[in-house]
Structure 1
Amino acid sequence: MVKTGTAADLPARVRRAAEDARVGEFRAVYRPRSADRRSRTWLVLLGLPGLVLLPFAVAFLLDGFGWASGLSLLLTAAYLGAAGRVLVQEVLPGQSPTTVHLFEDGVVLSSWRAVTPFTWDAVTELRVSGVRSAATGVATWHLTLSGRPGTEGEALIDGDVPGARELVETVSREVTERVLPKYLSRVETGGKVRLGPFSVTRQGIAKDGEFVPWENVDRVEIEGGMVHVDRSDRPAGLTAIAAEVPNAVAFGELTRRLRGDVRPDGNGGRSVRSMNG
C-alpha cells in the first residue's frame, strides 16, 4: 500500500537513516503486500494446527499411549515442518519484503533486517523489470539500486498498489537526470559507455560483437520488459532483458540524444520514455 504523512510517522531507524543520508523531505511510503500476505497466510494455516497438537503429543508420550503418541507426533511434525519451511524460505531473510520510503532527494529501503538509504546523486545503477500477471494484467515491479561499493538494495512493488507505476517512473527519472550528463560527456569526448550488454560510442551501439552505426539505428524502445534497438537496414536488431541493462531509461535517452531524435516536452525540457511492464 502507499501511505503519505510526515517524517514523524516513520519508524525511528528509517527516520535516522534519512536524516544521516540527507535525502530531504518525506513524500510517501510504498509497502509490498501480495507475496508476503500469501506466505504469512500459509504460515498461520500450517503452524497453528502444529502448535495445537504439540501439547497433546507431549501428554500422550508422558502417559505412554503408543499409537496415540505416534500419530500425534507424526501430525505435529508434518504441520510444524511445513510451517518451518515456509518461514525459512519465504518469510525470513532473503525473502523478507522491502518497504520503499520516497523522499525529495532519494529513497530509503527498509526491511526487518536492514535499512539502506540512497540519495539520487549517490545512485550509480538502477535496474528495473516488470512482470505482468496474465490473470490480472497487473505488473509487479522489481527495483535494484546500487550506490557506493558494496551498497545495494532491492524492492518488489506490486502494480496494484496505488502509485506504484508513478514511483517507478519517479526513481527512473531522478536517476536518469543525474547519470545522463556523465554518459554524454564520456561519449562526446571519445569514450565508451557500457550499460549491461550494450556499448555506446560516438560511432554507434554494439552488443555481443555486433555493431550498429548511428545511421542504421532506427529507434530504441523499452517495452514489455525488454530493451529493443531497431535497425533501419535489416529486420533483426539488438535486444536485451531490461533487468540486465543498468539505467535502461538513461540508455534510451542517451541513444536518442546521440541520434538527434529527442522530442521536447511541454515544460521546455526533454522527454524520457517510461518503462512498460
Structure 2
Amino acid sequence: MSFPEPVLERAAARRLGEPVRAFTARAGGRRYLAWAALLGLAGAVLALAATSYLRDDRPEPGVPVAVLSAGYLGGAVWLAGRTAPRGRRRAVYLFKDGIVLTGPGDPGVHQWDTLASVTVSGVQRAARGTTRWTITVTTSEGERIRLGDFADAHELGEALSAEVAGRAFPRHLAEIEAGETVRLGPFAVDLDGVEKDGVRAPWAAVSEVGIDNGMVYLRTADDLQVLTSIASRTPNAVAFVELCSRLRERHTENEHGL
C-alpha cells in the first residue's frame, strides 16, 4: 500500500521519519457489499414483478410486492453507504518515529514516545475461522484508540507492541530499580517479585513467564502458583514478560554471586 501525500505531509510536520509500513482496514466491507448486491438484485426483480402486476390491474399482489421491493432496495442502499467510508478511510501508517491514523474521527498523528501502552487480543469464533483482533492504544494523556478489523491485524499488533513496549521497558525497569512498584494491568512488579490479586510469587520461585493463546501467565517452579491475565487486560504485556525475565535472571545471578 502506498502512502498518500497528505499522510506523508502530516508525518513530516511531526518529524516521524521514514515510512515503514501501511495497514489497511480489513475488507470486511465486502460482506456488506455482497449483501447489498443480493438485496439490490432481489429488489430489482420484485420491482419488475410489481410493475407487471400493476400494469395488469392486479393491485392485490402488486402493492405488497412493490412495498417489499422498496424495502429490499432501501436495505441495499443502506448497506452500500455503510461500507463506503469504512473501506475508504481506515488505515494505520507506521513511520520510524511514530504513526499516522486515519479513519472515523480522524484519530491523528502520534510519536512513539507519546503512546503509553498497547493491548492486543484475538477471538476465533470457530475452530477454523478467522481470528478477529482488537488492538487498543492508550496515549500518555489517557486517550484510548481502539483498532480492529484490519488486514494483517496480528502483525499490526506486534509492530505497535514492539515499539511501545520497547520504550516502556527501560522506563519501568528504572522505576523498579529505584524501589517503586510498577503496575501493568492486574500485575504489580517490584524488586522482590510479582503480585496479582493478593497472591505473590517471589523471583526465586518463578520458573516461566510468557504470552500464549491470548493469555499472559507467570508460573512458579512447583506449579502451585500460576498467575494469569487476559492479554487484552494487560497493557504492554510484552514489556511485562521482558521485565519479569530480566528481574528473575538478575535475582538468580545475585544468588550465585555472578
TM-score, structure 1 as length reference: 0.74
Cα distance, 1:128 vs. partner?
1.2
Report the equivalent of 1:215.
204
Cα distance, 1:96 vs. partner?
9.1
Residue 101 (structure 1) aligned to one of 93, 107, 110: 93
Residue 137 (structure 2) aligned to one of 119, 141, 145: 145
Cα distance, 1:193 vs. partner?
1.0
Report the equivalent of 2:255.
none
Report the equivalent of 2:14.
21
Q: Deviations over 1:213-241 (max 9, x none)?
A: 11111111111111011112334401111
What one-letter code is carried by the residue in structure 2 that aligns with 1:229? L
Q: Deviations over 1:154-192 (max 9, x none)?
A: 333656x4xx65543332221122111111121111211
Secondary structure, aligned partner of 1:108: strand
Q: Deviations over 1:200-223 (max 9, x none)?
A: 122211112211111111111111
Secondary structure, aligned partner of 2:201: strand
Secondary structure, aligned partner of 1:186: helix
Q: Distance in 2 between matches of 1:216 and 1:253?
A: 17
Report the equivalent of 2:231.
242
What one-letter code is carried by the residue in structure 2 that aligns with 1:225? G
Residue 191 (structure 2) aligned to one of 182, 202, 208: 202
Q: Report the number of matched residues.
A: 249
Do the aligned residues in 2 keep the contact of 1:230 with 1:238 (CA within 8 Å)?
Answer: yes
- Please tell me whether residue 251 in structure 1 is matched to residue 240 in structure 2: yes
**Cα distance change of structure 1 residues 103 and 51 upon mapping to structure 2, 3 Å threshold:** farther
Q: Distance in 2 between matches of 1:246 and 1:91?
A: 31
- Please tell me whether residue 77 in structure 1 is matched to residue 71 in structure 2: yes
Q: Which structure 1 residue ranges, 4+ long, deviate > 6 Å from structure 2?
A: 54-64, 92-97
Report the equivalent of 2:254.
none
Q: Distance in 2 between matches of 1:129 and 1:95?
A: 22
Report the equivalent of 1:41.
34
TM-score, structure 2 as length reference: 0.79
Unmatched tracts of structure 2, length 5 or more? 252-258
Cα distance, 1:92 vs. partner?
8.1
Compare CA radii of gyration and give the structure with the larger one.
2
Cα distance, 1:253 vs. partner?
0.5
Report the equivalent of 1:260.
249
**Cα distance change of structure 1 residues 110 and 54 upon mapping to structure 2, 3 Å threshold:** farther
Q: Distance in 1 between matches of 2:138 and 2:128?
A: 32
Secondary structure, aligned partner of 2:28: helix
Q: Deviations over 1:110-138 (max 9, x none)?
A: 225424222111110111123456326x6
Report the equivalent of 1:181.
170
Cα distance, 1:251 vs. partner?
0.6
**Cα distance change of structure 1 residues 211 and 97 upon mapping to structure 2, 3 Å threshold:** farther
Between 1:33-42 and 1:23-32, the stretch displaced more is 33-42
What one-letter code is carried by the residue in structure 2 that aligns with 1:18? A
Do the aligned residues in 2 keep the contact of 1:30 with 1:157 (CA within 8 Å)?
Answer: no
Aligned-pair identity in percent equals: 35
**Cα distance change of structure 1 residues 210 and 22 upon mapping to structure 2, 3 Å threshold:** same
**Cα distance change of structure 1 residues 59 and 34 upon mapping to structure 2, 3 Å threshold:** same
Q: Distance in 1 between matches of 2:104 and 2:44?
A: 25
Do the aligned residues in 2 keep the contact of 1:100 with 1:155 (CA within 8 Å)?
Answer: no
Q: Distance in 1 between matches of 2:51 and 2:93?
A: 47
Q: Which has the higher helix share?
A: 2
Do the aligned residues in 1 keep the contact of 2:99 with 2:111 (CA within 8 Å)?
Answer: yes
What one-letter code is carried by the residue in structure 2 that aligns with 1:74? L
**Cα distance change of structure 1 residues 228 and 60 upon mapping to structure 2, 3 Å threshold:** same
Q: Distance in 2 between matches of 1:15 and 1:55?
A: 50
Do the aligned residues in 1 keep the contact of 2:46 with 2:68 (CA within 8 Å)?
Answer: no
What one-letter code is carried by the residue in structure 2 that aligns with 1:211? R
